[in-house]
């Protein structure tokens, strides 16, 4: 009698899926992510070389590019583009039952399939910050900017993945969260600001994307979360979102796939 097969541990499942799925990041979706991350900085460097050579570079231009373009536009777009390349892809291609029938920790699949996209996107986001000192940003604060992007991408990718599993139009809900809710941080009172990604990104970066003046209608004084707590908050948000994704997938009936499994 042959010995019974032992189901892999969650860690083994995670490692195996990440290893097998990593090459997928080199497909067109992966290079789109890379371009989205670095092109704005490259364009700014080119603009500086051609136009600003005669006028000089503002000392705040690098930070403005970081907050107004990379944080507000590039970062959420990367999360919304990368999220469908993970477990959501199995829903759309109706290959989800093939995953659910395997003797493995089903709840680990969303995070396992998202980690390669996170590593790939975070690499290019961090790389893009290397050009900011040439645009006037303080090189001493480069580490804070890079860490803010890496942790925010971790949290936003996890949230976008969870929304894609819970809602049929999850990417739309993610876009509303990132582009409609988050910018309201300027008018949110006190502790309500902590329910936005921008608050934690700015707390980690040590700078803000825009100043708030008393003349602005509905403007609120912006609070700051201590550096370590802001980092832990983004990590915790990501872990919670991955856990919710795993719980949702674990409760998905094996016989359902595609639109029937979207809920």
DSSP letter string, 14-52: HHHHHHHHGGGGGSHHHHHHHHHHHHHHHHHHHHHHHTT
pLDDT at 86: 78
pLDDT at 219: 58
Is the pLDDT at 133 greater than 80? The verdict is yes
pLDDT at 258: 44
pLDDT in tens, 24-48: 888 899 999 999 999 999 998 888 8
Is the pLDDT at 64 greater than 80? The verdict is yes
- Whether the Cβ atoms of residue 259 and residue 168 lie closer than 8 Å to each other: yes
Who has greater pLDDT, 250 or 183? Answer: 183
The Cα–Cα gap between 132 and 205 comes to 13
Who has greater pLDDT, 97 or 130? Answer: 130
pLDDT at 1: 42
pLDDT at 33: 94
Rounded mean pLDDT of 1-5? 50
pLDDT in tens, 226-245: 999 999 999 999 999 999 99
Is the pLDDT at 222 greater than 50? The verdict is yes
Residue 103 confidence class, pLDDT cut points 50, 70, 90: low
Rounded mean pLDDT of 161-186? 90
pLDDT at 262: 43
- Whether the Cβ atoms of residue 198 and residue 71 lie closer than 8 Å to each other: yes
pLDDT at 80: 95
- Whether the Cβ atoms of residue 75 and residue 156 lie closer than 8 Å to each other: yes
**Cα 115 vs. chain centroid, distance in angstroms?**
11
pLDDT at 263: 42
Who has greater pLDDT, 148 or 255? Answer: 148
Percent of the chain topping pLDDT 70 = 81
How many secondary structure helices (H) and strands (E) does the chain include? 11, 0
Residue 218 confidence class, pLDDT cut points 50, 70, 90: low
- Whether the Cβ atoms of residue 125 and residue 78 lie closer than 8 Å to each other: yes
Rounded mean pLDDT of 46-57? 69
pLDDT at 53: 61
The Cα–Cα gap between 64 and 78 comes to 19
Q: Supply the pTM of this predicted model.
A: 0.87
| Contacts (Cβ under 8 Å, ≥6 apart) of 103 | 5, 7, 8
Is the pLDDT at 216 greater than 60? The verdict is no
Task: Provide Rg for the chain, Cα atoms.
Answer: 20
Is the pLDDT at 182 greater than 60? The verdict is yes
**H-state helical runs in 167-205:** 170-176, 197-205
């Amino acid at each position: 009698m042959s010995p019974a097969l032992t189901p892999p541990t969650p860690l083994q499942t995670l490692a195996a899926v990440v290893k097998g799925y990593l090459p997928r990041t080199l497909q067109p979706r992966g290079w789109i992510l890379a371009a989205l991350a670095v092109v704005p900085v490259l364009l700014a460097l080119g603009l500086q070389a051609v136009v600003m050579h005669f006028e000089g570079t503002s000392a705040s231009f690098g930070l403005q590019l970081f907050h107004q373009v990379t944080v507000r536009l590039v970062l959420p777009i990367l999360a919304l583009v990368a999220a469908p390349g993970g477990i959501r892809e199995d829903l759309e291609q109706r290959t989800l039952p093939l995953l659910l029938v395997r003797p493995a920790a089903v709840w680990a699949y969303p995070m396992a399939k998202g980690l390669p996209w996170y590593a790939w996107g975070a690499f290019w986001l961090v790389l893009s910050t290397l050009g900011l000192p040439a645009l006037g940003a303080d090189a001493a604060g480069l580490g804070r900017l890079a860490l803010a992007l890496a942790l925010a991408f971790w949290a936003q990718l996890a949230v976008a993945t969870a929304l894609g599993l819970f809602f049929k139009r999850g990417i739309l809900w993610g876009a509303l969260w990132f582009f409609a809710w988050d910018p309201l941080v300027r008018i949110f009172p006190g502790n309500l600001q902590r329910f936005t990604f921008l608050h934690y990104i700015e707390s980690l970066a040590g700078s803000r994307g825009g100043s708030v003046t008393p003349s602005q209608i509905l403007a609120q004084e912006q609070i700051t979360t201590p550096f370590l707590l802001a980092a832990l908050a983004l990590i915790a948000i990501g872990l919670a979102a991955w856990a919710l994704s795993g719980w949702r997938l674990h409760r998905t009936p094996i016989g359902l796939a595609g639109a029937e499994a979207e809920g």
